[in-house]
Structure 1
Amino acid sequence: MRNVLITGGAGFIGSNLALKLLAKGYQVSILDNLSKQIHGDNPDETSPLYRSVKDKTNFVLGSVTSRDDWEKALDGQDAVIHLAAETGTGQSMYEIEKYVQSNIGGTALLLDILTNCKHTVKRVVVAESRAIYGEGKYVCPRCGDVYPMERKDEDMRKGDFECHCPKCGGPVELVATTEDSAIHPSSVYGVAKQVQGQLVHLVCPTIGVESVSFRYQNVYGPGQSLSNPYTGILSIFSTRIKNGNGINIFEDGKESRDFVYIDDVVDATIRGLETPEASGYVFNVGTGVATDVLTVANTLCEKYGVKVPIIVSGNYRLGDIRHNYADISLARKILGFEPKWSFDKGIEQFANWVNGQTIQEDKYEASIAEMKAKGLYK
């Protein structure tokens, strides 16, 4: 498989993946709509990610919601790595049609074409998300493995942010989330990502196309958007700090995520493309280590040498999860994947890159105002 189409290939993950595949001798095509939220008003000037790939690949400016654009981009391809998606759990809760049309509708169009038209595609690799799990996996001393549902507004209003056993209501202990854990997304984004993966794994085997999907944890690294206020707390915090603005830490600051460095994500994705035994599998991609949000904020202030107020406010967003970190044993076993970047090492690289960037406009307050207006921010 030497001809590879990457949808969303001008994005953060996609552009890094494209460059790595080019270095390995692949012929790379990209289908991307150059969303203003990610690439700015004039991508030739405002998007280094786009500039890094536009002249090195067969670049198709178009949308995954357009059949014509799909058919143009799919011509002669051996594999599709489907990354194009609207991202942002909070925004998805009020821009519902856009998220469903792009993430589910775009994937449905791809599969409809592969099912009903002549093509040369042999494998489809699709990006799911850790968001499909909702809350991660927990152990209750009385009930065993449990999967807490979405936390209640009335509990969080009282400052009770931790998850409880959905069976007995007692305390639970967080453990790594495995691929066979319960799927119960708590956002429209998570639902859309769940359906994307299900569609690919349902349809592809019926038409003789191999399928692989990845549930990426919180991906970060040099090159990610510093101007998109809807996704990526490292970018959001960095922009706040660089503008001298304080950071509002939601809940009690102990909520945690699995932060995985971009190079490790690219490595895992390429292994999913190249490993014959990967067909039919769903893989978690993370580090297997949870880092709390307050640690992230304090670490970034230290790396930038800037002190701003860090306020643990008790504010919260409906639909946010409390904890999630990945069990990556399956990716280790099938793909031979092993993350090479610890959080400390990766955050150092990220901060060094940010220090060399022009300070971006801080749009965070506007995004919070949108959520407040929709009743999602408390």
Structure 2
Amino acid sequence: MKNILITGGAGFIGSNLALALIEKKYNVTVLDTLSPQIHGENPEDNSYLFSKIKNKVKFIKGCVTSKEVWKDAVFNQDVIVHLAAETGTGQSMYEIEKYTSVNIGGTSKMLDFLANNIHTVKKVVIASSRSIYGEGKYWSDELNTAVYPEHRTDNFMANNDFEVKYKGLSKPLQLLPTDEESKIHPSSVYGITKQNQEQMIMTVCPTIGVAPVAFRYQNVYGPGQSLSNPYTGILSIFSTLIRNGKGINIFEDGKESRDFVYIDDVVNATILGIEKNEANGNVFNVGTGEATDVITVANELITNYGIEAKVNISGNYRLGDIRHNFADLTKINKVLGFKPTFDFKSGIKKFTEWVITQDVIESKYEVSIAEMKDKGLFK
């Protein structure tokens, strides 16, 4: 199990994983398109992420939607870590063909090749996502049971009512950590594609003698994440706005929360999935098990940068966004022995220390918001 192919391996998670695997003496092949949305213009010369792995891995520039690319990439591989995907919940709601073509279509091309050709692949690790849960898991005192609220609707959020609802219950619901047995009901096209990727791999691989492992990553962050991509990653988006001297527009009431997990912990969890047979056939959450609200995120960034920035809690909202979600880590701890080593404060400190070393780039955030507004998804 020494030869590992990482699709999307020049991306944020992929490049960090590649370097960690090289340290452990694995032979790493990376398949990546070097998308300008992630890597910027002239990525082969200017991408921070690509520069970290350049000349350290076998690199194949290509797209997962190409059958010919898969033939070359899979040759002599023991493990495939399938990270390649279009990301961003908001953008996925109007770039529907692109998201389904790359995420679902690319995964189907991989599985079709494995099912119909002689190969050496013994395991496939798929990057799934917390987005497949949609609105997470809650407790209802009225029903005395756990419930899974449906997607929030425009008519409530237009009246600044942002909390989740469940079948007309009057009492507020209590947020619970989302375990792997929780209801799967994504609220975005991106989430739907991740659900499809995971289900295809967990279904097909056992029938062709390949061990599947799925990791449902929470909100991954850390040094190296794209500061130029305005469609995903509020830590990057907020950081670029702050460093450009612009204010931060916080959606809803700022109390919406996410489980922010540091890149080193994500890499460590993924390597456990590669190396441990106990992972085979299983799906795992990867996070910190803690929810952090967006107001806290903004204030921590401002404090760490030492730059005054106006924070506007606007009541704006995006259709398709979830309210809350944080991971139950019981399973991954029990089966793989995984425990996160970074809490939000320590992780955000390392992230902002890295950001300060990078050039200040132009914020394209307003462009992304204008696109969503034009599509009727931003209110």
Take 2:63 and 2:278, find their aligned partners in 1: how far apart are those partners?
Answer: 31
SS at structure 2 position matched to 1:283: strand
Take 1:336 and 1:137, find their aligned partners in 2: how far apart are those partners?
Answer: 24
Aligned match of 2:268: 267
Take 2:231 and 2:361, find their aligned partners in 1: how far apart are those partners?
Answer: 14
Counterparts of 1:286-301 in structure 2 under 5 Å?
Answer: 286-301=287-302
Residue 56 (structure 1) aligned with residue 56 (structure 2): yes
Take 2:115 and 2:124, find their aligned partners in 1: how far apart are those partners?
Answer: 13
- The TM-score normalised by the length of structure 2 is 0.99
Take 1:44 and 1:92, find their aligned partners in 2: how far apart are those partners?
Answer: 26
Aligned match of 2:81: 81
- Name the count of aligned residue pairs: 378
Residue 360 (structure 1) aligned with residue 361 (structure 2): yes
What is the Cα deviation at residue 171 of structure 1?
A: 1.7
SS at structure 2 position matched to 1:128: strand
What is the Cα deviation at residue 360 of structure 1?
A: 1.1
Take 1:77 and 1:313, find their aligned partners in 2: how far apart are those partners?
Answer: 50
Amino acid at match of 1:160: D
RMSD over equivalenced CA pairs, Å: 0.7
What is the Cα deviation at residue 169 of structure 1?
A: 5.2
Take 1:175 and 1:121, find their aligned partners in 2: how far apart are those partners?
Answer: 38
What is the Cα deviation at residue 44 of structure 1?
A: 2.9
Aligned match of 1:27: 27
Identity of aligned residues (%): 63
What is the Cα deviation at residue 46 of structure 1?
A: 2.3
Amino acid at match of 1:339: P
Amino acid at match of 1:60: I
Counterparts of 1:1-378 in structure 2 under 5 Å?
Answer: 1-143=1-143, 144-166=145-167, 168=169, 170-378=171-379
SS at structure 2 position matched to 1:29: strand
Take 1:165 and 1:99, find their aligned partners in 2: how far apart are those partners?
Answer: 30
Per-residue displacement from partner, 1:59-81 (whole Å, max 9, x unpaired)? 00000000000110000000000
What is the Cα deviation at residue 322 of structure 1?
A: 0.2
Take 2:232 and 2:170, find their aligned partners in 1: how far apart are those partners?
Answer: 32
Take 1:219 and 1:239, find their aligned partners in 2: how far apart are those partners?
Answer: 17
Per-residue displacement from partner, 1:329-360 (whole Å, max 9, x unpaired)? 10001111010001000000001011111001
Take 2:182 and 2:170, find their aligned partners in 1: how far apart are those partners?
Answer: 20
Take 2:302 and 2:355, find their aligned partners in 1: how far apart are those partners?
Answer: 12
Take 1:2 and 1:50, find their aligned partners in 2: how far apart are those partners?
Answer: 22
What is the Cα deviation at residue 168 of structure 1?
A: 3.1
Alpha carbons 1:147, 1:166 under 8 Å: kept:
no
Per-residue displacement from partner, 1:65-113 (whole Å, max 9, x unpaired)? 0000011000000000000000000000000000000000000000000
Alpha carbons 2:40, 2:47 under 8 Å: kept:
yes
What is the Cα deviation at residue 217 of structure 1?
A: 0.3
